[in-house]
Amino acid sequence: MRRYRYLLLNVFAESHFAGNPLAVFPEAEGLTDAQMQTLAQQLNLSETTFVTAHAQADAAVRIFTPGYELPFAGHPTLGTASVVARRLGRERVTLSMPAGRVPVTVQGDVATLTAQPPRARDA
C-alpha cells in the first residue's frame, strides 16, 4: 500500500496548539473519494484537505469533514494555500475547488483569499 504524508496545521492561531486544526495531504494523487472520506473520519478534525495537480490552477483541493465533502470552506482553503505556496516558492496561488477557483496571497504566516461574488443556483 502506498504511504501518504500529511501535515497538521493550526489556522488562525496566535500561539502553538491554538486556532483551527487542519490536516493537509499535499500529494494525494491516487486516493479515491472513499479513501479521502475514510482518512478524514480517522483524523476526526473539522476538515482535512487533499491536494492534487490541476492543469489550469496551481493545485486542485478537496475538503472533507468526518462526514462529507465540502465545496469550499475558509480555514481549510487558507491553510492549504499556505502549504501550496511554500512548496512552489510563491506568494500567490490559485486553488481549484469544487466551488470554483480561489486566488490566495500568502505573505509569511498570513494568507488572504479573494472571494468570488455569490452566484444563484436552482434549489
Taking only the tens of pLDDT, the chain with its 123 residues reads: 689 999 999 998 888 888 899 999 999 999 999 999 999 999 999 999 999 999 999 999 999 999 999 999 999 999 999 999 999 999 999 999 999 999 999 998 888 987 777 666 666
Domains in the chain (CATH in brackets) are 7-113 (3.10.310.10)
Q: In the block, which residue shows the cell 491536494? A: 51
Predicted local distance difference test score (pLDDT) of residue 114: 78
Residue 94's pLDDT is what?
A: 96
First to last CA, the chain: 41
Active site residues: 47
Q: How far is CA 14 from CA 10, 11, 74, 103, in A?
A: 9, 9, 17, 24
Q: Show the cell assigned to 19.
A: 486556532
- Residues ≥6 apart with Cβ < 8 Å to 71: 63, 97, 98, 99
Cα gap 100→111, rounded to integer Å: 18
Q: Which residues contact 76 (CB under 8 A, 6 or more apart)?
A: 11, 22, 47, 48, 49, 61, 63, 70
Give the model's pLDDT for residue 123.
63
Other beta carbons within 10 Å of 13: 13
The model carries a pTM of 0.91
